[in-house]
A and B are shown apart, each in its own frame.
Chain A
Amino acid sequence: DTEVTQTPKHLVMGMTNKKSLKCEQHMGHRAMYWYKQKAKKPPELMFVYSYEKLSINESVPSRFSPECPNSSLLNLHLHALQPEDSALYLCASSQEAAGFGGQFFGPGTRLTVL
């Protein structure tokens, strides 16, 4: 299995809602990532988990809360988002660090905050 899957594909939420994005990989990768991508821009790194531990948090607002329940799963919990948080949220995984074998991305969740 060489895929990273993400659910849901689309999500519309109000500013007071709580929702979660889910990501799964079965490639045995030990690093998993959350990115945010705005239209016509490259992905922006949000969080990195290495061996199920949070290793990088790129000064992301606390309304985004990551969770890594096990080595195959990654969640992103969303609460009290702002309209400017509307974007494509991408999950990725890699065997170890980005320098070895590359990062493999899921199809993303298109998030709209009303």
Chain B
Amino acid sequence: QQQVKQSPQSLIVQKGGISIINCAYENTAFDYFPWYQQFPGKGPALLIAIRPDVSEKKEGRFTISFNKSAKQFSLHIMDSQPGDSATYFCAASISNYQLIWGAGTKLIIKP
């Protein structure tokens, strides 16, 4: 019940396209859902996060969509660029110190 399931494992998108990564959870006590972006050899960087009282949050080209009833949330990257090529992790937290991480999605944006 503590798991966060992330899909797909890898994703190839053409430059300018929309990249979509999905996550699902079981524990309805989760109340904080961040997305992290990680480039090879670097630490994860907090990209965008959402609380369950809103259905969507947008920051620039990055949008989180949140479906509380389905227990799913997704990251949309609009106008995807080669510089967006990285590994993306979703996570969930119950307002404590412990993030429950998804397995990660390797995103490749083709020029």
Contacts and interface: CB of A to CB of B under 8 A. Distances in A.
A103 B111 CA distance: 32
Interface string B4-29: 00000000000000000000000000
Interface residues of B, number: 26
Nearest to B46: A102
Interface residues of A, number: 29
Contacts of A98: 32, 93, 95-99
B66 interface: no
Contacts of B91: 42
A110 B41 contact: yes
B98 A56 contact: yes
Interface of B: 31-32, 34, 36, 41-46, 49, 87, 89, 91, 93-99, 101-104, 106
